[in-house]
Structure 1
Amino acid sequence: MDRQELAAFLRSRRERISPADVGLPAGTRRRTPGLRREEAAQLAYISVEYYTRLEQARGPRPSREVLAGLARALRLSDAERDHLHHLAGAPPGPPPGPSREVRQSILDLIQRLPQSAAFVTSATYEVIAWNDLAAALMEDFSALPRRERNLLRRAFLLPHPDGRRLYGVSDVDGFARTAAQNLRATAARYPDDPEVTGLVRELRAGSEEFARLWASHDVAAEPTLCKTFQHPVVGAVTVNCDALDIADRDQRVVIYTATPGSRSEEALRLLSVIGTQRMSLPG
């Protein structure tokens, strides 16, 4: 265990995270950048005294559970998580759960597709990045709490406020079946991740349909190449659907494009102007 390097690494990662990044108020009396030690400790589920000793190079060797908490609290990348383990003298094992960190090149890519609705999902179908047109077509994901950005919850547990199940998409039953099959494969890859196991448990308890699909033990799914959204402002929007796997992150980029010259292309163009604002018809 390299206590000095571990202490310096923890300080550097803590100082780069703003309170807003983790949903905390910034306040007016912060003398240093980033999170306070007590905030980092709270997010990692360890005592402030223990965390302080680690940053002062006086702490005992952290357990793997503590290291996992620190990695989560400090939003470490996969490479940073491995580095943390090596500094603590505990070589890293398999990733504890699906990665939620999206590479900058992927973020840049989806923003460079102005005529396409594009978003990124994790292995548990959480929407973790999106461009403006995806938000306009589907949902303003930035306005949702993290748990409601999960498309499995949207499909099986959370009907849309206006009554449309999963944004009024035409293949909702096919999506539900495919997503359930893919989640079973995800659960096999991350058998000890509490978020994965908790999501499965929640879906099985809250949806008879999901419970039935889960009981089938199917893991193979056919891709959906075309689907139609019933949008409340522009009406039906039919799009081609392409999904690109990001193997090293266990993520997927989903891109929706309309056939050139079609009415749906005009609808997407209108949505790119409207954005996520809600238009009301005159009474």
Structure 2
Amino acid sequence: MHRTELADFLRRCRARLGPAEVGLTPGPRRRTPGLRREEVAQLAGMSADYYTRLEQARGPRPSRQMLTALARALRLTDDERDYLFHLVGEEPPRDRSSSEHVRPGLLRVLDRLYDTPAQVITDWGEVLAQNAMAAALVGDIMGRPPGDRNIVRGFFTRRNDAPGIFPAEDLEMHGRLHVANLRAVLAARPDDPGPAALVAELRSVSAEFAALWEAHEVALRHCAVKRFIHPVVGELELEPEILLSSEHAQRLIVHTARPGSESAERLELLRVVGLQDLAPRQEWAL
């Protein structure tokens, strides 16, 4: 591990980013350019002390999950992400079709969406990034451990843990959509270990998933409107729009309300309420 080179690289990447570029409020005048260390730590989901030690060339060797989180927080390109991995002595991920590294362009768009729920997910349901509105609507998925951020797994294994996000009458439709999408992904990339492992896991632990998988449905249409239930603002009818990455393996999903509708008013209320809602949320939506 090249600690000195890693520390210098992290400092330079941090210095080139401003708060507005990563969706943060600039706040009072800053004495130094770029993000503060604690802001990078917040974006990466690590302690400020841990990140500070990395920049001071005295930290422990970061895990692959931590390197992925740092690359995302610092908005690194694919080449910069690979260089970061090499500095630590790790082999960079080679299968970019399902990489957890969010493309900087998608993150820049996500950072500018402050008044509507949006998040970046892989085509098989791994949540890679979400904005504050998405966290307020469906829960802080990025606050979960790196291996537990898949919305399909959550839908079939964690639905009874907290108040529902979707109306009960919509659950069958969402389940069928999840399974049909997974089947299409697995057919397109049969050698990708991520989707294959998820299908095998869910077939063994969820009778509901296993039954839907055996039904072999592949021609389902995506719903034009999704209904969400929030414990504070009530029911919202939101229209999903999907922006695909160039490889189509990552999707930026944005949910908007029809202007002038009751849902638009409730979405604005949700923006004001934000993360002040402390009620347990099921983190398996969008």
One-letter amino acid of the structure 2 residue matched with residue 39 of structure 1: R
Q: TM-score when scaled to structure 1?
A: 0.67
- Alpha-carbon distance in structure 2 between the residues aligned to 1:229 and 1:31: 41
Kindly report the root-mean-square deviation, in angstroms, between the aligned alpha carbons of the 2 structures. Answer: 4.1
Structure 2 equivalent of residue 175 of structure 1: 174
Q: Sort the Cα spacing of 1:161 and 1:93 in 2 relative to 1 into closer, same or farther, 3 A.
A: closer
The reply on whether 1:185 has 2:207 as its aligned counterpart is: no
* 8 Å contact kept, 1:170–1:227: no
Structure 2 equivalent of residue 106 of structure 1: 106
Structure 1 equivalent of residue 32 of structure 2: none
Superposed CA deviations along residues 25-62 of structure 1, whole A, max 9, x for unmatched, are 846995864685x725xx46xxxxxxxxxxxxxxxxxx
Q: TM-score when scaled to structure 2?
A: 0.67
Report the 3-state secondary structure (helix = DSSP H, G, I; strand = E; otherwise coil) of the residue aligned with 1:171.
helix
Superposed CA deviations along residues 192-231 of structure 1, whole A, max 9, x for unmatched, are 4443332112211111121122223333331211011111
| Higher relative contact order, structure no. (Cα contacts within 8 Å, ≥ 6 residues apart) | 2
Identical columns (%): 34
Structure 2 equivalent of residue 212 of structure 1: 211
One-letter amino acid of the structure 2 residue matched with residue 117 of structure 1: P
Question: Deviation of residue 149 (structure 1)?
Answer: 2.4
Structure 2 equivalent of residue 39 of structure 1: 61
- Alpha-carbon distance in structure 2 between the residues aligned to 1:14 and 1:188: 43
Question: Deviation of residue 114 (structure 1)?
Answer: 2.9
- Alpha-carbon distance in structure 2 between the residues aligned to 1:198 and 1:134: 27
The reply on whether 1:245 has 2:244 as its aligned counterpart is: yes
Structure 1 residues 50-199: aligned runs within 5 Å = 78-79=78-79, 95=95, 98-159=98-159, 161-164=161-164, 166-168=165-167, 171-199=170-198
- Alpha-carbon distance in structure 1 between the residues aligned to 2:270 and 2:69: 37
Structure 2 equivalent of residue 267 of structure 1: 266
* 8 Å contact kept, 2:115–2:268: yes
Question: Deviation of residue 125 (structure 1)?
Answer: 0.6
Q: Sort the Cα spacing of 1:256 and 1:226 in 2 relative to 1 into closer, same or farther, 3 A.
A: same
- Alpha-carbon distance in structure 2 between the residues aligned to 1:156 and 1:279: 24
Question: Deviation of residue 121 (structure 1)?
Answer: 0.8
Question: Deviation of residue 167 (structure 1)?
Answer: 4.9
Report the 3-state secondary structure (helix = DSSP H, G, I; strand = E; otherwise coil) of the residue aligned with 1:125.
coil
One-letter amino acid of the structure 2 residue matched with residue 122 of structure 1: T
Question: Deviation of residue 112 (structure 1)?
Answer: 2.1
One-letter amino acid of the structure 2 residue matched with residue 99 of structure 1: S
Q: Sort the Cα spacing of 1:230 and 1:22 in 2 relative to 1 into closer, same or farther, 3 A.
A: closer
One-letter amino acid of the structure 2 residue matched with residue 195 of structure 1: G
Query: Structure 2 stretches of 5 or more lacking a match?
Result: 12-36, 85-91, 280-286
Q: Sort the Cα spacing of 1:247 and 1:170 in 2 relative to 1 into closer, same or farther, 3 A.
A: farther
Superposed CA deviations along residues 73-101 of structure 1, whole A, max 9, x for unmatched, are 996965468889xxxxxxx9972761212
Q: Sort the Cα spacing of 1:14 and 1:189 in 2 relative to 1 into closer, same or farther, 3 A.
A: farther
Q: Sort the Cα spacing of 1:216 and 1:109 in 2 relative to 1 into closer, same or farther, 3 A.
A: same
Corresponding pairs, count: 241
Q: Which runs of 4+ in 1 moved over 4 A?
A: 11-15, 17-36, 71-84, 166-170
Question: Deviation of residue 168 (structure 1)?
Answer: 4.5
Superposed CA deviations along residues 131-160 of structure 1, whole A, max 9, x for unmatched, are 111111111223322344211012111125
Larger Rg: 1
Q: Sort the Cα spacing of 1:213 and 1:28 in 2 relative to 1 into closer, same or farther, 3 A.
A: closer
* 8 Å contact kept, 1:119–1:131: yes
Q: Sort the Cα spacing of 1:175 and 1:243 in 2 relative to 1 into closer, same or farther, 3 A.
A: farther
* 8 Å contact kept, 2:244–2:250: yes
